[in-house]
Structure 1
Amino acid sequence: MSSLVIAGQLVRRMLGTRKDIFFSLLLPAIVLAVIIGFVASQQDRAAVIEVTNKDQGSFGKAVVERLQQEKKFTIKWLNDETEEQRKESVMDEKADAAIFIPANYSSQLLSGKQPKLAMYRMNEQLWNASLALSLQAETARQHHAALLLQSSHALNEHHLTALLDKREQLIRADQTPTALGIAKEQPITVGIMLLFVLILATRSISLVMEDREKRTMARMFAAPVRAVDIAVGNFLGSVATGTMQLLIMVGLSCYAFGYDPGFSPAMLFLVLECFLFAAVGLCSAIAGLVRNGIQLGQISNLIITPTCMISGCFWPVSFMPDYMQKLANATPQLWAIEAINRLSMGHGLHNAVMPILILVLFAAVLLAFGAVVLRPSRGAIGS
């Protein structure tokens, strides 16, 4: 019961007036929902890709057919343009990417060489990196088939085309769907949400830090209240405020501004709520290592921003070196993103249980550490 009283007092301090409710509760959640809706709409826009095929052989046409299967892109065929014009088109932002198939593409394959396709893009993003890998895989498939026929002295256009068609049929026959749904890996949108949750947790913990500076916490520990009740009360108060803002943010993002996470908004709220637990624990652990609110803000920035960067909040973890990918496992943001990705692939809540449990474990360990180090010294309590 003492924990609920302490939690209620913390909530009243944060949302005690109408001005606090608007500026501290409603406005941040509404602004974030608008940002998420805008970013999601930009990500959902089909990328425009300009393609020029100078090759007259059947293998250049095979690459073209492969590109035609990519339904999530808008393909523009410009066969009279040069490679330099394709590059300039991307630099002038007339296209999101450009692909140039050289005139000797088929002839290089027939001579046993592995040709390269030119792909131009302004920056590295998830969709264009995936497309580049797909094109590399198609070129490698044609090259390996050519080497196989060359070893049997049967390398010609007819035999190579027949072998590629047969391999394509075998690949399609072996493809079986493993999940119902589409993987919607949106690191920027999810990263904005997680960063918002961390900022919420930092603000609520700053009030606890203020109690410590003004010796209010020392008087609480001198009262006939258990230390665990004080720690749980501060935790519940921080979580209660964050939960209200998460409800507003998720509700507006999904139902008012058209954000589609690829699964139920209720499941998105559940993952963010579990991450909120871990975020409050992380901020309370940080608060226990500093002496005042100014240091808390400085240390939080030094910890929150780098951990968001290496955990995949702004770009996929797969883009980073191996040692950084291993380091990312020690951040709660990675496991929140992992849970969201599993849910977006249609795997169901049961397959997201493990990362959610890891988030809860993060919260328990960090909160226990924070509760110990945030406790005032015996001298402060006695005075």
Structure 2
Amino acid sequence: MNSLFIALNLIKRTIGNRRGFLLFIITPALIMSLIIGFAAKQDEKASVLYINSDEGPVGRHILRELEYTGRYRLSVAATPDAMRTAVIEHKADAAFIIPAGFSEGLKEGRGMHVELLELSMSEASFTLRMSVDQTIRQVSMAMRGLDASGQADDRLNLVLEQVEKHQVRAARTDYGWYASPVLGLATGILLMFLMGLVNSSVSIMVEDRKQKTMTRIFTAPVRAYEIMLGNFLGSFAVGTLQIVLVLTFTRYVMNFSYGLPFMQHLLVMECFLLAVIGIGSAVAGLIRNSENIGAVNSMVSAPTCMLGGCFWPVSIMPEFMQKLANFVPQTWAIEAIRRLGLGQGLGDVAMHLSVLGLFALVLLGIGSVVMKPGETEAG
């Protein structure tokens, strides 16, 4: 019962005010939603404007081939100036102009080019140029073959019509061999917010030490393990609320598919939460001055998040940093979620969960020792 009172008090002090609730509950859900929304937008069709001044069949064929790819949302532009304005104002991802006499120029063997307009190099403009160039090369090869047979003028339209039927097509099958490209970043951001609980826990514990609250608690008729259990349960409840809210909101409101079951995802995050609470209790025992709390973020949270792959894959870092990454819990949590996202089971990530549990066990043990006022303070 004493532990529950201590836990409820910690919860109230952490998220019982507007600032704490916004920082630890609302903000993570909003940031995750923005990331997922941005990723979903990247999967939408690119908006492309065009002007087709060619009166021959090649200009129409280029437009039909671009529509067939399904990657672009094509719209006719009124004038070249209106087209340029739309690209500059980010109303269109790219634009292109098929010049007059394009078909005739290809027939005569002249090098004809489509004018592409882009504000800066992007995935949409790059793939657009590749698609247009590939279509032009295919038409040019067909024309050379028809020229050799002396039937270029009569058979070109027929050849292009047959090409546009796409009687031979490639079927794309998703076997689930690759995790969602957003999964790593979304997980890293959520882990970063959970690491924010370290700062909160440290702040509360240092404040209690400064105000002699912790000393009075330890001198009360309450067992030491009840005090530590209360602090643990309070932090665990706040972290669990944060995790459940973010996962529920992104899954069922944003309709984002993480590629792994909810309960497996929650289990990994809860194991990481235990490690975070351990870090918080251990660090709090080492901080003596409230003015040094700000250093916790720069010396613990931020470096471990960067080293553990929250912002970029661990694989792109130098080899010695990849080895150091094994000593931070973020690495094991992200790798476990990535494996589950690839379709593996809990048995395949048992080692990762065990390592996270070991982090929690060791750090909570250290924290329970160094947090005792009689052993950490003089007088």
Q: Please report the TM-score for the alignment, with normalisation by the length of structure 2.
A: 0.64
Tell me what 1:57 maps to: none
Shift of residue 90 of structure 1?
8.1
Shift of residue 294 of structure 1?
2.9
C-alpha separation between the residues in 2 aligned to 1:72 and 1:189? 27
C-alpha separation between the residues in 2 aligned to 1:377 and 1:210? 16
Flag structure 2 segments of 5+ consecutive residues without an equivalent.
49-68, 73-93, 97-110, 135-173
Tell me what 1:31 maps to: 27
Relative to structure 1, the CA distance from residue 223 to residue 255 in structure 2 (aligned partners, 3 Å threshold; closer, same or farther) is same
C-alpha separation between the residues in 1 aligned to 2:243 and 2:333? 15
SS at match of 2:327: coil
Tell me what 1:373 maps to: 370
**Identity percentage of aligned residues:** 38
Shift of residue 303 of structure 1?
1.6
Partner amino acid, structure 2, of 1:183: A
Tell me what 1:259 maps to: 256
SS at match of 2:179: coil
Tell me what 1:7 maps to: 7
2:201 matches 1:204: yes
Partner amino acid, structure 1, of 2:180: K
Tell me what 1:346 maps to: 343
Tell me what 1:248 maps to: 245
2:246 matches 1:217: no
Partner amino acid, structure 1, of 2:332: W
2:262 matches 1:233: no
CA offset digits 1:36-87 (Å, max 9, x no partner)? 122123334339899xxxxxxxxxxxxxxxxxxxx9988x9x99659xx99x
Matches within 5 A, 1:351-366: 351-366=348-363
**8 Å CA contact 1:271, 1:340 repeated in 2:** yes
Q: Please report the TM-score for the alignment, with normalisation by the length of structure 1.
A: 0.64
Matches within 5 A, 1:94-243: 95=124, 97=126, 182-186=178-182, 187-243=184-240
Flag structure 1 segments of 5+ consecutive residues without an equivalent.
51-70, 104-176
Shift of residue 32 of structure 1?
2.2
| Number of residue-to-residue matches in the alignment | 283
Tell me what 2:299 maps to: 302
C-alpha separation between the residues in 2 aligned to 1:96 and 1:344? 31
**8 Å CA contact 2:370, 2:376 repeated in 1:** no
**8 Å CA contact 2:285, 2:376 repeated in 1:** no
C-alpha separation between the residues in 2 aligned to 1:365 and 1:211? 23
Relative to structure 1, the CA distance from residue 32 to residue 14 in structure 2 (aligned partners, 3 Å threshold; closer, same or farther) is closer
Partner amino acid, structure 2, of 1:366: L
C-alpha separation between the residues in 1 aligned to 2:341 and 2:202? 32
| Stretch moving more, 295-304 or 268-277 | 295-304
**8 Å CA contact 1:202, 1:283 repeated in 2:** yes
Partner amino acid, structure 1, of 2:284: A
The match for 1:91 among 110, 120, 133 is 120
Shift of residue 97 of structure 1?
4.7
C-alpha separation between the residues in 1 aligned to 2:185 and 2:376? 47
C-alpha separation between the residues in 1 aligned to 2:271 and 2:296? 23
Shift of residue 180 of structure 1?
5.5
**8 Å CA contact 2:265, 2:337 repeated in 1:** yes
Which has the greater radius of gyration? 2
Partner amino acid, structure 2, of 1:230: I
C-alpha separation between the residues in 2 aligned to 1:192 and 1:379? 34
Relative to structure 1, the CA distance from residue 380 to residue 322 in structure 2 (aligned partners, 3 Å threshold; closer, same or farther) is closer
CA offset digits 1:224-249 (Å, max 9, x no partner)? 33323222221111111221222212
**8 Å CA contact 2:185, 2:310 repeated in 1:** yes
Tell me what 1:142 maps to: none
CA offset digits 1:291-339 (Å, max 9, x no partner)? 1333123223322111111111011111111001001000000011011
The match for 2:288 among 288, 291, 296 is 291
